[in-house]
Structure 1
Amino acid sequence: MPRRIMFVQLKTGYDTDRGPSWIGWVDFSKTWGTAYFHGRTLRRAGWLSDANFYDLETNEEFWVSGPKRDRTDTRYGPSAPTIEPDAADDYHAFLDGSPLPGRENG
């Protein structure tokens, strides 16, 4: 199962880019159509306007994407994402110029 450090933001119930967000490990299915994060099963959804995944159990919408080195992951968000402790070392190395694990070749 592919595993990547990703930016994840809850969209449901919040104004644009105001929901809680995290930088952490996300596991993906072989087809990349399903993501697993914080015990949730998220399914890719191309029809959503402000999100690209939804929770299969709660229908909450999420934005899942690779983190940005310039830390502009949210467009209008007031605060930085929570960095998950188990991803912190690799994320900080990424901010310092290293490739993300699993993305060494692009």
Structure 2
Amino acid sequence: MINNLMYIELKTGYSDDGPAWIGYVKTSKTKKTIYFNDHAFQKSNGSYSNYIDIENGDEYWISGLKKKESNRHWAGHGKIMIDRRAVSEYLTLIGEKELPLNLFEVVDIEDKFPVERVKSFLNERDKN
């Protein structure tokens, strides 16, 4: 089941200008793991990030959506990719009729949540 519509931004290697998405995520039963776009994230205490990719260690900023279209850090640039299925819900949230295409790119994001793969990865990691 898909749970939430969230903002996800890659920080590793980009600072505030990394690729960014608004899309549907799935969370684990404990809500300690977030799955999105074939990645799995767990909470971390980075200086510019709040989540880490479990498998590769990349840092991300993941948050709920803001109503004033200011999801990116004030110093950040670049279009935010938004899942085509989420556009209507997002427009309702921000109280607009049209998506500002200077800020967003509408894309298709596949629901690919690697629950079993990540469980296996964590089990192997914990053995070593």
Q: TM (normalized to structure 2)? A: 0.68
Q: Percent identity?
A: 35
Give the distance between the partners of 2:14 and 2:76, measured in 1 at CA.
11
5+ residue gaps, structure 1: 98-106
Matched, 1:28 2:3: no
Structural RMSD (CA): 1.6
Structure with more contact order per residue of length (Cα contacts < 8 Å, sep ≥ 6): 1
Give the distance between the partners of 1:9 and 1:87, measured in 2 at CA.
17
5+ residue gaps, structure 2: 97-128
**Residues 2, 30 of structure 1: 8 Å contact kept:** no
Q: Which residue of 1 aligns with 2:114?
A: none
**Which of the two has greater helix per residue?**
2
Instruction: Say which SS state the counterpart of residue 88 (structure 1) adopts.
Output: helix
Kindly name which structure, 1 or 2, has the bigger radius of gyration based on alpha carbons.
2
Q: TM (normalized to structure 1)? A: 0.81
Q: Which residue of 2 aligns with 1:57?
A: 55
The structural deviation recorded for 1:39 is: 0.8
User: Which structure 1 residue ranges, 4+ long, deviate > 3 Å from structure 2?
Assistant: none
